[in-house]
Amino acid sequence: MKRLVAGFLAIGLVGLIGCDTHSTPGGPGVSNSTGSNTKPTFGQADDTFTLSPPTLSTSIKQGETKPVNIDIKRGKNFNEDVTLKLDGLPKGVTADPATPMIKHGDKEATINLKAADDAGLGDHTIKVTGTPTKGAPATSEFKITVNKK
């Protein structure tokens, strides 16, 4: 009985945490004029990608720098470079590099978030837009918390 409960608990946690990062898909395979491109039951649709920013809020103190990884999940035949754009950074928080890119062979981009000494305190939602060289952009979000020094 304990194993059964533990199994259901593990499945529930995977469902809550790991399977879907709520990213909209991007890439040339997002829309297909024939209407035959539907999302598969499992996995990623051909010629598409999704972005996976951190699932938990990233805490950063004023005056501090923190790395944040944005992962990419590529569907079959998607080999494009993807340029990332961050919207919603709070006052006094900058991203380095300002325009990060995930190259076609890479699985992630590391962005250093730098909070100035007077960065805006509190919880903030950052929107990440990934634009491929061909096809539709993908979007996702992550949260950061700026704390007092």
Does residue 10 belong to any structural domain of this protein? no
Domain membership flag for residue 99 = yes
**Mean pLDDT, the chain, integer:** 84
**143 found inside a domain:** yes
pTM here? 0.78
Band (87; pLDDT cuts 50, 70, 90): very high
Structure tokens at 113: 């978030």
Distance, in Å, from the CA atom of 16 to the CA atom of 81, rounded to the nearest integer, reads 30
Examine residue 39 and state whether it is found in any structural domain, yes or no. no
Q: Tokens 């990884």: give the residue.
A: 69
| CATH number for the domain harbouring residue 125 | 2.60.40.10
Which of 4-18, 38-52, 92-106 has the least mean pLDDT? 4-18
Q: Is the residue at 107 inside a domain? A: yes
- Give me the number of domains the chain comprises: 1
- Domain hosting 102: range is 23-28+45-147
**How distant, in Å, are the alpha carbons of 25, 48, 71, 102, 139 from that of 74?**
10, 6, 10, 11, 14
**How does residue 43 score in pLDDT terms, banded at 50, 70 and 90?**
low
Name the pLDDT band for 16 (thresholds 50, 70, 90): very low
Q: Report yes or no: 83 and 137 within 8 Å, Cβ to Cβ.
A: no
Q: Of 100, 114, 22, 21, nearest to 62 (Cα)?
A: 114
Q: What percent of the chain has pLDDT over 70?
A: 77
Model confidence at 54: pLDDT above 60 = yes
